[in-house]
Amino acid sequence: MKNLPENKKIVLFDGVCNLCNDSVLKIIKLDKKNNFVFASLQSELGENILSHIGVDPNKIDSIILYEPNVSYDIKSTAALKIMNDFGGLWSLSKIAWILPVGVRDFFYDVIARNRYKWFGKKEQCMIPTPELKSKFLD
């Protein structure tokens, strides 16, 4: 795909999910190395990336960590890779790698299925403040 930032990891997230939006803001705060940029799954770019990597947008309800020309990860693997990037106490998240992906994703899926009920939903995707605009691709 063209026109994607070089040397950045792209986090695709549910733009109307309150939990997802709060998680994006937390990632931005903890991203001291400036490794991550963001696009909502509902955006044109998000849909283009999903198409490029062969993921059906109707069958995805998780974050996707996309590293252009490298790979992509979903669900708990994506979340753990993001956390591992922060260093410090977040390095303790590496312990979760000992669990089989099926076990990790089971817990991830429980939260994903209930995220709107437990955390709420917005009517439209988050509009970033001018200070955060550079972190969003769409």
How far apart CA 102 and CA 14 sit, in angstroms, is: 22
Residue 10: per-residue pLDDT: 96
Residue found under tokens 């009920």: 117
Residue 58: per-residue pLDDT: 81
Residue 127: per-residue pLDDT: 67
Residue 110: per-residue pLDDT: 94
Residue ranges per domain, the chain?
9-133
How far apart CA 65 and CA 81 sit, in angstroms, is: 8
Consecutive sets of 10 residues in the chain, 138 residues long: mean pLDDT of each?
Answer: 82 89 93 94 91 87 90 95 91 92 95 90 69 79
Q: pTM here?
A: 0.88
Identify which of 40, 35, 29 has the alpha carbon closest to the alpha carbon of residue 5: 35
Residue 126: per-residue pLDDT: 62
26-45 in b/e form (b: 16+ CB < 10 A) is: ebbebbeeeebbbbbbbbeb
Helix axes 101-119, 18-30, angle to 10 degrees: 120
Length of the chain: 138
Residue 125: per-residue pLDDT: 64
